Chain A
Amino acid sequence: MIDFVTDPLSQEFIRRALLEIGLISLAGGALGCWVVFYGVSYAAESLSHALFPGLVIAALAGLPILVGGIPGIAVAALAIALVGRTPGIGRDTAVAVVVTGFFGLGALLALSPNSPPGIQSLLFGDILAPSNSDLWISAILALGVIISLVVLHWRLLAVAFDRTTAGSLGASPTIADIAVLILLAAAVLVAAQGLGTLLAVAALVGPAATARLFTHRVLSMMIAASAFGVCAGVAGIYISYYAGAAAGASIAGCIVAGYLIALIASGVRSLLERTAIPAEAT
């Protein structure tokens, strides 16, 4: 039994993968709560898809993919912000056009004949093979996200609670929105590095949605989301090790499975509570 746990740990690539998923889950889980409260899940999805060409260009140039990811996500965010202002087509449509456009561009580059093999790892991630520089950049971004969330906590709380009066409390809704989007971009970069542009959003939204079912304060929700993200990540890596399944997909699968179990459990709990009240009353 102990071997079951320690066997994978003897492997260097598993230890690195656990470190990487830990960084993704800590930052992604905590920030994911604000992603849920600020209603920017769609923006998270859009950013992670639209940064694909940046990653491909970095991979083609042989750079750490986060080096391409940072300008990639900046260009994507700028395009989304600009096109979102186009009158007449609606924000969602505009964002969808930008995202598919960018994603298509990335695919075009990735599928060209002179692309190196393994570029599909940008789509589904390569959690098992982060380089030292990937890990360092991930650690810096994740730490930056967490420190920012600690510092900005009360302002984000005031705006999420009531946008209309937050301004009179010295918490500008516009600044809070921008802060959440910048942190989101940083967290998407970290998550996309390990889980790929298609699965990154799972690590951001899934743990927060799960934690919301069982917590009653934002802080406990953030801690629970990070902890759940780490557990799902570790479980996914072990499943991938023993079952030979793709690591990124196993992790995303564990997050979704955890959410579904939590959803059923919370449903059963509220059903029990509802049936318990009349029983007590009689």
Chain B
Amino acid sequence: MAEALARTHDLAAGYGRTPAIEGITFEVDTGQRIALLGPNGGGKTTLLRVLLGELRSMRGTVEVRGRAATVPQTERSRLDFPVSALEVALMGALPRLPWWRRPTHADREAALAALDRVGVADRAHDTFGDLSGGQRQRVLIARGLVQDAQLLLLDEPFSGLDMTAARGLEALIGELASEERGILIATHDLSQARRWDAVLCLNKRQIAFGEPDQILDREVLEETYAGAIVEIPGSDRVGVLPAHHH
């Protein structure tokens, strides 16, 4: 059996004395795309930070093989900041450089190759904030590729994208997973989560983990989203009310 890229057992983590998440037992294998479902404040970001090594576990174990990279929501960065797409991708070289070293010519080549891989090579020299939401997300994924990350942690990558951009990004995520990577995608989109390889439902504790068809039933969703789920008329499925941002 292939060794998992990341594995947790009965993990608890948080910021003060009380854990923000607990009882997390799951694993990501190479080639897997795993949806991370849960309400705002349900602990998705906390789990991503533990996997990145930014936050220590309070209980339980967490193992991450190889490098993990975060792909944040693009609105979090300053869109008025005068930086090119290439410079953003090149920031992915910083973790392997000592603090006094600047990225080298080889790093620059790697960043250009990564931008090419995610399909935005033609925008390399454009200002990051001038790109479309989908292109910005791709540039941030390229930054993760420059980090040489086997585990990519995407924080709501589809928020604010139109249908075409979302489909393109979904295809890219599939391709990247098939290249020996594991991908964790925090999302609110239930129908999309059903298309990934596994789902981890999180609401301050682990509600369920497994293949979407097996675990995404009404009971699990009610526990995950509390009252915020609705029946979809004309189907036996349920949906989640759109999350309110800000």
Residues of A that sit less than 8 Å from B by CB: 37, 151-155, 157-158, 160-162, 164-165, 167-171, 212, 215-218, 221
Between A and B, 16 residue pairs with Cβ closer than 8 Å are A154-B102, A155-B99, A157-B91, A158-B94, A160-B81, A161-B81, A161-B83, A161-B88, A161-B91, A162-B72, A165-B72, A165-B76, A168-B52, A212-B82, A217-B87, A218-B82
Tell me whether A169 and B95 are in contact (CB under 8 A). Answer: yes
Residues of B within 8 A of A154 (CB): 90-91, 94, 102-103
**Given A151-B100, A165-B70, are A160 and B78 also a contact pair (CB < 8 Å)?**
yes
Determine if B127 is an interface residue (Cβ-Cβ < 8 Å). yes
Residues of A within 8 A of B53 (CB): 168
Tell me whether B100 and A169 are in contact (CB under 8 A). Answer: no
Residues of B within 8 A of A162 (CB): 72, 76-78
Tell me whether B70 and A168 are in contact (CB under 8 A). Answer: yes
Do most interface residues of chain A lie in helix, strand or loop, or is the interface mixed?
helix
Q: How distant is the Cα of A168 from the Cα of B70 in the complex, in angstroms?
A: 8
Interface residues of B in 41-86 (CB under 8 A from A): 52-54, 69-70, 72, 76-78, 81-84
Residues of A within 8 A of B103 (CB): 154
Instruction: Name the CB-closest residue of B to A212.
Output: B82
Tell me whether B76 and A171 are in contact (CB under 8 A). Answer: no
Residues of A within 8 A of B82 (CB): 212, 215-218, 221
Residues of B within 8 A of A169 (CB): 91-92, 94-95, 147
Residues of A within 8 A of B128 (CB): 161
Residues of B within 8 A of A152 (CB): 99
A-B residue pair count with CB separations less than 8 angstroms: 64
Q: How distant is the Cα of A216 from the Cα of B94 in the complex, in angstroms?
A: 22
Closest 7 CB pairs of A and B: A162-B77, A170-B95, A169-B94, A158-B91, A165-B72, A170-B94, A168-B52
Nearest CB of chain B from residue A183's CB, rounded to whole Å: 15
Nearest CB of chain B from residue A168's CB, rounded to whole Å: 5
B residues contacting the other copy or chain, number (CB 8 A):
28
Nearest CB of chain A from residue B144's CB, rounded to whole Å: 10
Residues of B that sit less than 8 Å from A by CB: 52-54, 69-70, 72, 76-78, 81-84, 87-88, 90-92, 94-95, 97, 99-100, 102-103, 127-128, 147
Instruction: Name the CB-closest residue of A to B107.
Output: A154
Nearest CB of chain B from residue A165's CB, rounded to whole Å: 5
Q: How distant is the Cα of A212 from the Cα of B81 in the complex, in angstroms?
A: 10
**Given A154-B103, A161-B91, A162-B76, are A168 and B83 also a contact pair (CB < 8 Å)?**
no
Tell me whether B94 and A155 are in contact (CB under 8 A). Answer: yes
Q: How distant is the Cα of A168 from the Cα of B97 in the complex, in angstroms?
A: 13
Instruction: Name the CB-closest residue of B to A220.
Output: B82
Residues of B within 8 A of A160 (CB): 78, 81
Q: How distant is the Cα of A177 from the Cα of B109 in the complex, in angstroms?
A: 30
9 extra interface residue pairs, beta carbon distance < 8 Å, beyond A168-B95, A215-B82: A37-B81, A164-B76, A168-B52, A168-B54, A169-B95, A170-B95, A170-B99, A217-B83, A217-B87
Instruction: Name the CB-closest residue of A to B91.
Output: A158
Instruction: Name the CB-closest residue of A to B103.
Output: A154
Tell me whether B102 and A157 are in contact (CB under 8 A). Answer: no
Nearest CB of chain A from residue B147's CB, rounded to whole Å: 8
Q: How distant is the Cα of A167 from the Cα of B54 in the complex, in angstroms?
A: 8
Q: How distant is the Cα of A154 from the Cα of B70 in the complex, in angstroms?
A: 18
Nearest CB of chain A from residue B241's CB, rounded to whole Å: 26
Q: B53, B70, B100, B147: which has the most chain A beta carbons within 10 Å?
A: B70
Q: How distant is the Cα of A170 from the Cα of B52 in the complex, in angstroms?
A: 12
Q: How distant is the Cα of A218 from the Cα of B128 in the complex, in angstroms?
A: 13
Instruction: Name the CB-closest residue of B to A151.
Output: B100
Residues of B within 8 A of A221 (CB): 82
Residues of A within 8 A of B76 (CB): 162, 164-165
Nearest CB of chain B from residue A53's CB, rounded to whole Å: 35
Nearest CB of chain B from residue A145's CB, rounded to whole Å: 16
Nearest CB of chain B from residue A159's CB, rounded to whole Å: 10
Q: Which one of B70, B72, B91, B127 lies within 8 Å of A216 (CB-CB)? A: B127
